[in-house]
Amino acid sequence: MTDPVLLAELMTLVEPGKVLTDAASLETYGKDWTRHFPPAPSAIVFPKSIEQVQAIVQWANRHKVALVPSGGRTGLSAAAVAANGEVVVSFDYMNRILDFNAFDRTVVCQPGVITAQLQAFAEEQGLYYPVDFASSGSSQIGGNIGTNAGGIKVIRYGMTRNWVAGLKVVTGAGELLELNKDLIKNATGYDLRQLFIGAEGTLGFVVEATMRLDRAPKNLTAMVLGTPDFDSIMPVLHAFQGKLDLTAFEFFSDKGLAKILGRGDVPAPFETECPFYALLEFEATTEEVANDALALFEHCVEQGWVLDGVMSQSEQQLRNLWKLREYLSETISHWTPYKNDISVTVAKVPAFLRDIDSIVSTYYPDFEVVWYGHIGDGNLHLNILKPNDMSKDEFFARCAVVNKQVFETVEKYNGSISAEHGVGMTKRDYLAYSRSSAEIAYMKAVKAVFDPNGIMNPGKIFAPE
C-alpha cells in the first residue's frame, strides 16, 4: 500500500506526525530480531488510544490493507516482520501502566509497556512479575502476549498465558472485545482471551492487558553444576526437583560457556572445564534448604553426574551466574546463528537430545554448534554458528537442509517445532510437523472468524496459499 490518498486518510486517524514513511523508519520498524526476510513496509503508524487502533483496523478493512503489529521487535520467528508492503502498527506510544490493584495483585498495562518496566513496577509494590527472558529489557507486554513468551522461570511460573487476567483486544474486524474481565473464576463459555495469547497478531491487536503478579521470591539462590555429558543432566534435574521447589533449571554447553568467557566481562563459575553445565535456582528460605541443596550436590557428584559446581553466596554472585546463561543469545548473535527452538516432554529429553545431537554432528561436522535452553521444561535452543568465511545465504541454505531431519525427530518424539519463539514466517513451512491438518484447518477457521478480510498479519503462522 503506497497510495498517497490512502496514506492521507490514515494520517487523519492518528495525531500529527504519527505516520512515518521515511526509509530509516520503514527499516527500523519493519523487522524484528530475525534476519531472514528484508523489511519492506509501506508505512509505520503509531496509535495512542484504543479508539485510534479501531479506526486504523476499520480503515484497513475498507481498503484491504494488511497490518503488522509491532512491539519491542525482539521476536525470533519474523512474526513482526513486514516484508510485503504492509502497514506496521507500533505500540511505542501506548506504553503506560494504567492501574494497579493491590487486592487482586493485578496491573493494567497498555501493550507498549516494556517487560522490564512491569517487572520493576511489581518490585516497587513488593510483588513479582515472574516471566523473564534475555530480551525483557526491550520486549513489550503486547508482544509477549502475542507470542506467549516463556523464558527462564517457566518451570515454576509457566508461560505468559498464566499471568494474563484479562485482555482488551481489537479484532481483525475492528471490534473491541473485553475478555475475561480480570476474573480468577469465569465459567461462561469459551475463554477467548486464550485464543489471542500466542496468536502472533493474526486475530487482532492486544490494546490493553491486565497482568497478574505473584509474591516476591525469597533469597533466590543459584547453582551452576558441570556435567560430563548430556545424559547426566536429567538425573540432576530429577534429584534436585525431588527435594527443592526449583524456580529455574537451564543448561548450556562448553561452547556456549566459551563464547561467554570470551567476552571478558563474566567470571568462570569454577576451574574445572566440563562438556555441559546446568544452572538451577531455588528459594533458600532457610539454612536447611541451602544444606539440602549442598547435600544434593554431593549426591550428584557421588553418582558421577556432576564434576564440579558452585552455589551463589550473594546477590552479585547470583547475577554473575545468571549472566553465563542470559548473555548467550546476544553473545552468539555475532555469529548469525541458525536457530532452533524445540521442545519435548521432560521424560523424552535424553533420547531426543541424543538423536538431535547425532543428526547435528553428522550433517554439521564443520559448523560450531551451541546448545543451551530451558531443559527443565523440555525446551532446547540449538544454535548453529555461521563460519566467518561463509555467506549468510549459503549458510542458511545448508542449515535448512537438515531441518527435515530435525523436525522429523521432533515429530517422532511428539514435540514442538517452536517451543517459545512462535511460528511467524521462519517456521510456517514446518507447522505440520507439530500440528495435524485438522488442527490447522480449525485454526484457519478461527482466524477467518476474527479477521474476515485477512488483514491481520497475513503470512504468519500459516504459509500463504
- 8 A C-beta contact, residue 156 and residue 40: no
Residue that is written with C-alpha cell 517452536 in the block: 418
In whole angstroms, how close is the CB of 2 to ligand S2G at the nearest point? 34
Q: Nearest-CA neighbor of 453 among 169, 9, 66? A: 66
In whole angstroms, how close is the CB of 372 to ligand S2G at the nearest point? 7
How many residues at the interface with ligand S2G, by CB under 6 A? 9
The nearer residue to ligand S2G, 311 or 380, going by C-beta atoms, is 380
CA dist 103 → 107, 125, 129, 213 (Å): 11, 12, 16, 11
Q: How many residues does the chain have?
A: 465
Name the residue whose CB lies closest to ligand S2G. 329
Helices within 38-166 (DSSP H only): 50-63, 115-124, 141-146, 154-157
The nearer residue to ligand S2G, 281 or 420, going by C-beta atoms, is 420
CA dist 227 → 220, 275, 371 (Å): 22, 7, 14
Helix or strand (DSSP H, E) at 212: strand 204-212
Is there binding between residue 381 and ligand S2G (CB under 6 A)? yes
Chain positions 103 to 162 lying near ligand S2G, rule: CB under 6 A, are: 133-134
In whole angstroms, how close is the CB of 133 to ligand S2G at the nearest point? 6
- The count of other CB atoms within 10 Å of the CB of residue 123 is 13
31, 153, 339, 398: which one binds ligand S2G (CB under 6 A): 339
247, 320, 329, 343: which one binds ligand S2G (CB under 6 A): 329
Q: Could you say which DSSP state residue 414 is in?
A: T
The nearer residue to ligand S2G, 259 or 339, going by C-beta atoms, is 339
In whole angstroms, how close is the CB of 423 to ligand S2G at the nearest point? 15
Is there binding between residue 343 and ligand S2G (CB under 6 A)? no
The nearer residue to ligand S2G, 211 or 328, going by C-beta atoms, is 328
The nearer residue to ligand S2G, 134 or 446, going by C-beta atoms, is 134
Q: Nearest-CA neighbor of 260 among 325, 336, 335? A: 325
The nearer residue to ligand S2G, 249 or 305, going by C-beta atoms, is 249
57, 76, 399, 456: which one binds ligand S2G (CB under 6 A): 76
- 8 A C-beta contact, residue 279 and residue 322: yes
Is there binding between residue 423 and ligand S2G (CB under 6 A)? no
Give the 3-state secondary structure of residue 301: helix
The nearer residue to ligand S2G, 73 or 381, going by C-beta atoms, is 381
Helices within 30-114 (DSSP H only): 50-63
The residue ranges that bind ligand S2G (CB under 6 A) are 76, 133-134, 328-329, 339, 341, 381, 420
